Amino acid sequence: MNITDTLDNGNIHLKTRIVVPPMATQSTEMGVPGVRTISHYRTFARNPLVGLMITEHSFIDVQGKADPDQMSFADDGVIPYQKKLTETVHGENPDVKIFSQISHAGFNTSESFTGQELVSASAVQTRSSISRALTVSEIHALEDKFAAAALRVKQAGYDGVELHSAHGYLLNQFYSPLANFRDDEYGAQNIENRLRFLMETVRKTRNAVGDDFPVAVRLGGSDYMDGGSTIEDAVKAAELLEKEGIDLIDLSGGFNFYTRKGHHEPGWFSDMSEAVKRKVQIPVLLTGGIRTPEQAKILLEENKADLIGVGRAMLRDPLWGQN
């Protein structure tokens, strides 16, 4: 398998196996992509090795806004601005696909710029406050907001949507035993309960966007921390999400975020991605520490994943692999 091989699997049709993963730029203008943000993604589209790019996460509700300059998909007013981004990318390279990642930060934000209390799966002490546990009715309302945001993504001309359930954000806070201390049907008693919020969100998202629009999940499959989620959890979660109808699973860290302590090898989450890939038929995306095309090729040949995300190296050189 090579990085220039195409991928055709269900709703996923990509010209190469290289993905530009979500990376925050903090370059938006009042929550929408302006000249700087659009130019940023346009440069990646010029690289013929890029088959897919996934934009930095966009908030689905102001209470879940992760930083002051984060992009928004929280209301219909952003759609024309987001269309400018997708039209620019597709105009630069009609073959490249672009997905939008949507998220809610949960307690991983600050009241100072959301103007609202912190919420999460449970009451958790943060640096500045204590989060409040969401009620079941509030969970359902947020599922609806994710679905509404996903529909806006489709209306804005994106080729797919990715639900952000990694890096300690809200959906990940329900999945991880490090933050979920509930005793109801969304609690930590088993993987099905910890995954219920995400599964119901996938179902509502699919209903909103239709059967032929790609829905991906970025899953913080393992916390790589004592008492946290495990690789075994990631495998079971991936199997359940595949049955629910997602088209792609993008694996990353949970409460360890996008790095792994003590690991600097290319593809430092490959033990997780390899385990997941053995059990699912949908494409598996691996990101983390890949610096060269040869490293990406080796990971594909070793069946660690179906797609390789190149983040920091691509950020340093948008024409990565062309020099």
Q: Is residue 258 annotated as part of the catalytic site, yes or no? A: no
Strands 58-59 and 97-103, sheet pairing:
parallel
The residue range of the domain holding 223 is 11-316
Q: Give me the pLDDT at residue 199, please.
A: 98
Task: Report yes or no: 229 and 179 within 8 Å, Cβ to Cβ.
Answer: no
- Identify whether 19 is part of a domain: yes
The answer to the question of residue 268 being in a domain is: yes
* DSSP for 229-271, written as a single string: --HHHHHHHHHHHHHHT-SEEEEEESTTTT--TT--SSSTTHH
Q: Which pLDDT value is given to residue 194?
A: 98
Residue 114 belongs to some domain of the structure: yes
**How far is 229 from 224, CA to CA, in rounded Å?**
7
The sign of the torsion formed by the CA atoms of 151, 75, 87, 103 equals negative
Structural domain count, the chain: 1
**Residue 283 resides in a domain:** yes
Tokens of 267: 């593809």
CA torsion through residues 218, 184, 117, 131, sign: negative
Is 52 within 8 Å of 307 (Cβ atoms)?
yes
* Cβ proximity of 163 and 202 under 8 Å: yes
Taking only the tens of pLDDT, the chain with its 323 residues reads 899 999 999 999 999 999 999 998 888 888 999 999 999 999 999 999 999 999 999 999 999 999 999 999 999 999 999 999 999 999 999 999 999 999 999 999 999 989 999 999 999 998 878 999 999 999 999 999 999 999 999 999 999 999 999 999 999 999 999 999 999 999 999 999 999 999 999 999 999 999 999 999 999 999 999 999 999 999 999 999 999 999 999 999 999 988 888 888 999 999 999 999 999 999 999 999 999 999 999 999 999 999 999 999 999 999 999 87
- Is 5 a domain residue? no
Helices (H), 49-117: 79-92, 111-114
b/e sequence 160-198, b meaning 16+ C-beta within 10 Å:
bbbbbbbbbbbbbbbbbbbbbebeeebbbeebebbbbbb
By C-alpha distance, which of 163, 159, 149 is closest to 78?
149
In this prediction, residue 258 carries a pLDDT of: 86
Whether residue 154 lies inside any domain: the answer is yes
Question: What are the φ and ψ backbone dihedral angles of 317, each rounded to 5 degrees?
Answer: -140, 95
CATH number at residue 56: 3.20.20.70
Residues 6+ apart with CB under 8 A from 226: none
Q: Whole-prediction pTM value?
A: 0.97
Catalytic residue among 41, 81, 158, 169: 169
Q: Which residue has the tokens 């053995």?
A: 278
Residue 255 lies in a domain: yes
Say what the pLDDT of residue 126 is: 85
Phi-psi region of 210 (alpha: psi -120 to 50; beta: other; left: phi over 0): left
- The answer as to whether 321 is a domain residue is no
Q: What is the pLDDT of residue 262?
A: 86
Measured between alpha carbons, how far is 248 from 84 in angstroms, rounded to an integer? 25
